Structure 1
Amino acid sequence: MDMKEIAQIRLENARELAKQAGGTTQFAARVDREPTQMSRIMGANPTKGIGSKMARHIESCFGKPSGWLDYDHSNGISEDAGAYHSNTAPVAQPIRYFRYPVVSAIQAGQFAESVVPYPSGMEDRHETTDYKAKGQAFWLEVKGDSMTAPAGVKPSIPEGSLVLVDTGIEAAPGKLVVAQLDESNEATFKKLIEESGQKYLKALNPAYPLIHCNGNCRIIGVAVKMQMSL
C-alpha cells in the first residue's frame, strides 16, 4: 500500500475508535489531546493526516498492538496481518473499562479534597465506562428536573440519569459542571456560563433561575458522560 492508502485506512480506523469511545471529545480525552486537534485530523474534511507517531500513540492509548491502525479491519481479519510490528498477528483487543463510584450530592463534595481514589464509604456501588478520567471521577445520580431541557432541546438530562464527573478537567464556560455553593452542603449539577464578566450556574430547565458563581462556589468537576437505565 502507498502512503495515501495508509493515511485513509488510519483515518477510518481512528474514526471507528472514536465511535467506540463515545465521540471525538471522548476520543481526544483518551489520547490526551485537544478535541480541536482531533477534529482537524478526523473531521469530515480533515486538514491534517495521522502521522506514524500519532498512530502509534493512539494504538497505545486504546490497547492496540503497534501497527494496528495501518490495516483494514473491516472484514474482521487483516489481509496484511503478518506486517504488524510483532512476531505473530495480534488478536482483537477489548476496549478498556474503568470503574467509578456512584455517589450522593453530599458525598460529591469530598472528591475535591480527597487524595485517595475515592473517599471512605463510597465503595458500595460502582458503574463502568470506557472513559479514562484525567482526575478522580465519580458518577452522580441526577435528582429533580432542573437539567431536563424543553422538548426537542439537547442536551437534556432527566432525573435518574447518571453523569460521570471528572475532577481533572478545567471547568470552562459552556461546560456542564458539578459545583458546591458556600451555603450548601450538597453539590449541584448545572451548566457554567459567563455573562458580562460574571459566572453563573444555569439549569437546562428554563423554569429555574440563574445562580451567581463568583467567589461563593467551588467547581468540583466537569460532566463528561451520561447514562441512564430504561
Structure 2
Amino acid sequence: MSNSKSIGQILRRIRREKLWTLQKTCEEADNIIDAARLSRIESTNSMPSLVAGYKIAKALGVKVEDLFNEAEGVISKPSGYEEKIPVLSWVRAGAMCSSPTSHGFSDCDEWISPPRPNMAPNCYALKVRGDSMQAPHGTSFSDGCYIIVDPAMAPENRSYVIAMTRDTEESTFKQLIMDAGQTLLKPLNPHYPIIQANEDMIICGVVTDMVSRIA
C-alpha cells in the first residue's frame, strides 16, 4: 500500500499541529495567497506556486524538499544525520506503523551508523528488550542489541518482523511463521510461547540487520 499524500494534506497536518488557522498561516507567509486559496490547496490535489509553496513552508518551519519527500513517503532526517539511522522507542515504532509519514525523525535523540551501504531510506533501529529472541544456537538477538527495521519490505515466511496489535499499538519482535494456513509469531527462545497472529495484528516492518555494540 502506498503512503503517498498530497502536498495540501501535509500542509494541513503541519498547520493543525501548530494550532494555526488558515488566516494565520497566510499572514505568516506574507499573505502570498489568501485563506480561501490555501483551503482549496489543502482539500484538493492542487499545487501552490513555487513562490507560494516556499513562503508557506518557511512560515510553517519546514523545507519545501521535506514536503515533497513526505508526499513520496520518504521521511526526512535532520541536517547532518542523513547517513545515520534513528533509534526509535517501541511506542514510537508502533505509532509510525499506524501513520508512517506523520512521525518524522527530526527529534530523535539517538542515532547509529548503518551496518552496510544502501540501507532503505525509511529504515529505523530498535533496541532489543529482554531475551525472547535469544536462541540457544544459530541466529540470535541478545538483550541490548540494535535491530534495523525496513517498514517497506514485504515479509516472507521465516522473516524476522515487528508486529503490532491495532487497538493497543503495542509492538513485538518475533519470527514470522506461515504454515498450513496459520500465521504464527515465534520467539527464538523456546522458553517463551508462540503467538497465534490474528486479524488485529499487522506487520510494521521486516528486520534486515542487527548491530551489537561492544562496551
User: TM class by shorter-chain length?
Assistant: 0.5 to 0.7
- In the TM superposition, what are the counterparts of 1:129-208 in structure 2 within 5 Å? 129=114, 130-134=116-120, 136-150=122-136, 153-208=137-192
Q: CA deviation at 1:183?
A: 4.9
Contact 2:88 2:108 in 1 (8 A): no
Contact 2:127 2:147 in 1 (8 A): yes
Q: CA deviation at 1:184?
A: 3.4
Q: CA deviation at 1:186?
A: 2.4
Q: CA deviation at 1:133?
A: 3.5
Partner of 2:112: 127
Give the Cα separation in 1 of the matches to 2:138 and 2:132. 14
Partner of 1:115: 101
Partner of 1:70: none
Q: CA deviation at 1:165?
A: 0.3
Give the Cα separation in 2 of the matches to 1:110 and 1:145. 24
CA deviation map 1:119-178 (0-9, x unaligned): 36742111111343345211000001100001xx11010100000000111011110001
Runs (5+) with no aligned partner, structure 2: 1-81
Contact 2:146 2:210 in 1 (8 A): yes
**Corresponding letter in the other structure for 1:154:** G
* Counterparts in 2 of 1:207 and 1:184: CA distance versus 1, 3 Å: farther
Give the Cα separation in 2 of the matches to 1:131 and 1:110. 27
Runs (5+) with no aligned partner, structure 1: 1-96
Partner of 2:84: 99
**Share of identical aligned residues, percent?**
31
Q: CA deviation at 1:195?
A: 2.2
Partner of 1:224: 208
Figure out how many residues of one structure are paired with residues of the other and give that number. Answer: 131
Q: Spell out structure 1 runs of 4+ moving beyond 6 A.
A: none
TM-score (norm 1): 0.53
Q: What value does the CA root-mean-square deviation take over the aligned residues?
A: 2.0
Give the Cα separation in 2 of the matches to 1:161 and 1:111. 21
CA deviation map 1:31-65 (0-9, x unaligned): xxxxxxxxxxxxxxxxxxxxxxxxxxxxxxxxxxx
Give the Cα separation in 2 of the matches to 1:213 and 1:155. 22
Contact 1:161 1:227 in 2 (8 A): yes
Give the Cα separation in 1 of the matches to 2:85 and 2:155. 20
